[in-house]
């Protein structure tokens, strides 16, 4: 993993991830690190997707003001960022554990 500083967008995504993991929507308990990480990301992404869906419904119901469309665009962009972050974190975690396994 890199040693680059965490940006404010990454902090926002991490905050969503942490709050999602504390309010897990599944009754299944993870049995390993990758399951825990993937369940946390899945829940965070599901919650953000619901926000996008709600904002989209507002626009569909006649909320055609610029502010409504701007909020929808912002929430969709946040979802995209979170999806990219989840992919990156899963990939980096996998690479890190692979490196540890090779050294062990």
Query: What average pLDDT does this structure show over 22-49?
Result: 83
Query: What average pLDDT does this structure show over 75-97?
Result: 95
Using the structure block, give the residue that is written with the tokens 């569909």: 60
**pTM (2 decimals)?**
0.69
Higher pLDDT, 31 or 8: 31
Tell me which DSSP letter residue 65 carries: S
Domain range summary for the chain, segments of one domain joined by +: 32-103
Higher pLDDT, 26 or 90: 90
Confidence of residue 1 (pLDDT cuts 50, 70, 90): very low
Query: What average pLDDT does this structure show over 3-27?
Result: 54
**Residues 6+ away with beta carbon under 8 Å from 71:** 55
Give the Cα separation of 20 and 67 in Å (integer).
Answer: 27
Using the structure block, give the residue that is written with the tokens 């502010």: 67
């Amino acid at each position: 993993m890199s040693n680059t500083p965490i940006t404010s967008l990454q902090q926002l995504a991490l905050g969503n991830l942490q709050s999602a993991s504390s309010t897990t929507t599944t009754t299944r308990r993870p049995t390993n690190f990758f399951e825990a990480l993937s369940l946390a990301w899945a829940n965070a992404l599901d919650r953000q997707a619901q926000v996008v869906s709600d904002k989209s419904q507002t626009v569909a119901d006649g909320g055609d003001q610029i502010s409504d469309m701007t909020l929808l665009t912002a929430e969709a962009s946040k979802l995209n960022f979170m999806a990219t972050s989840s992919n990156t974190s899963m990939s980096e975690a996998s690479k890190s554990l692979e490196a540890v396994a090779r050294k062990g």
